Structure 1
């Protein structure tokens, strides 16, 4: 346990269903809880700017998902299994056993499944960069994922990925370190599972408010998925973040943080976000 300013930081493992995953915990324990779920090939590191901005008045929980970061010794099983692990983190560490959940990319898939299947622990969810539509040529994409796995930690590949994600220059070293901590097993399984991801049927009965978001410059399938995700949940909404791509929490960290804060406090979303209907 250590201090960052006036905030208590608790870094440690949460043991659930026979598995221990690493969870960074920052802020006052009695404050509203926010869980930040990272993307594939990175770790809770990607939320550094949001953690710094939110920790003053929120209870922030940042897990490293199985196969990633400081949880990289624990094999990735599935999105559903990981959602259950996150639900147990919330039950154990959030006030009243409930939290706001924010996920980007892989984290968005986990958050969407969690909002559908375990709404009792989710006050509200933000899911960014999630595709629920069929990919063209999924077999070819699976083959590409298999071929990429052995070289995913190679410097030129990491630099190319960072450019594709528009990772800010100041964050390149952190991105590469987080990527190198990802297990190849997790990379292969997550890539394969995401290709066939569909929202759980329980979404239709979930009382959880869900905000689906995508960067304006994301893949067309991801942008078109917004309306489907919002329609799947009785309390679903969708919006676009202008001028950014997939990893936009790093491109426009202030806007991303303001969006989270608005959903937690019940305020209006930032005007810069464009509603999708």
Structure 2
């Protein structure tokens, strides 16, 4: 898995996990804000961006690789983990299964209730997969994630480079995700975010994630859809920086 590192190597580590269909470039604004004071670690998840030649297999395999990555990049220094959408599910699973590596977690727009008829959804996705390689289709999808103009070419390159196998594996894992049984025992701090304009499922998921972890914080963000870090980059960057200062 490709990993980009920014900032002082011995500073407190911050691990940024992107969503499905995008890559580490989605964190450019946050990276620039944090890189002076933190060791910012930004992987391209399997099947995405500069890890496109490594197919996405499962959440479990990806989390194990992320844990190994933290052990090598920041030994003995638990990280703040920020995850969006697919990356937010991975952040929850990483914190639940490897709490020694995670000091606190920011969960942004994570689905935590499995959808019914997942098989049918994946069959429809499989049939339409060739569209993902079309620039015009990628531009339509970009609107749903609030991709800004200066990142549009990065998005199109990433989106059109995702294989059908990775698409089905990542989306399937996303749709079937449930909270790990060890999530309520995570000892670190957690902030759970969802946009008020997201689907009700996403807001309900945010409440379920918060409700399952005593002491966590929940914030439903006004005027935001599914794409808070890209839709409201200044607000989001300030919010993350604030949590890091408190920590």
Q: Partner of 1:209 in structure 2?
A: 189
Asked if the contact 2:81/2:102 (under 8 Å) is kept, the reply is: yes
Structure 2 counterparts to residues 84-123 of structure 1, below 5 A = 84-94=64-74, 96-123=76-103
Q: Deviations over 1:224-259 (max 9, x none)?
A: 111110122233221112112112211111111112
- Distance in 2 between residues matched to 1:75 and 1:174, nearest whole Å: 19
- Distance in 1 between residues matched to 2:128 and 2:30, nearest whole Å: 30
**Residue 42, structure 1, aligned to residue 31, structure 2:** no
- Distance in 1 between residues matched to 2:185 and 2:111, nearest whole Å: 21
- Distance in 2 between residues matched to 1:91 and 1:200, nearest whole Å: 22
Asked if the contact 2:12/2:77 (under 8 Å) is kept, the reply is: no
- Distance in 2 between residues matched to 1:184 and 1:28, nearest whole Å: 38
How far 1:38 moved relative to its partner? 0.7
Runs (5+) with no aligned partner, structure 2? none
SS for the counterpart of 1:41 is coil
Asked if the contact 1:204/1:233 (under 8 Å) is kept, the reply is: yes
Q: How many residue pairs get matched?
A: 247
- Distance in 1 between residues matched to 2:214 and 2:104, nearest whole Å: 12
Cα RMSD after superposing both structures: 1.5
Structure 2 counterparts to residues 140-151 of structure 1, below 5 A = 140-151=120-131
Structure-1-length-normalised TM-score: 0.84
How far 1:33 moved relative to its partner? 0.8
Q: Deviations over 1:185-217 (max 9, x none)?
A: 111111111111101101122212221111121
Structure-2-length-normalised TM-score: 0.94
Worse-matched range after superposition: 130-139 or 219-228: 130-139
- Distance in 1 between residues matched to 2:168 and 2:25, nearest whole Å: 21
**Residue 219, structure 1, aligned to residue 199, structure 2:** yes
SS for the counterpart of 2:182 is helix
SS for the counterpart of 1:228 is helix
- Distance in 1 between residues matched to 2:52 and 2:170, nearest whole Å: 13
Asked which structure has the greater RCO (Cα within 8 Å, sep 6+), the reply is 2
Structure 2 counterparts to residues 36-185 of structure 1, below 5 A = 36-94=16-74, 96-185=76-165
- Distance in 1 between residues matched to 2:195 and 2:15, nearest whole Å: 21
Worse-matched range after superposition: 100-109 or 147-156: 147-156
- Distance in 1 between residues matched to 2:222 and 2:175, nearest whole Å: 25
Asked if the contact 2:82/2:106 (under 8 Å) is kept, the reply is: yes
SS for the counterpart of 1:152 is helix
Q: Partner of 1:6 in structure 2?
A: none
- Distance in 2 between residues matched to 1:122 and 1:131, nearest whole Å: 20
Runs (5+) with no aligned partner, structure 1? 1-20, 268-277
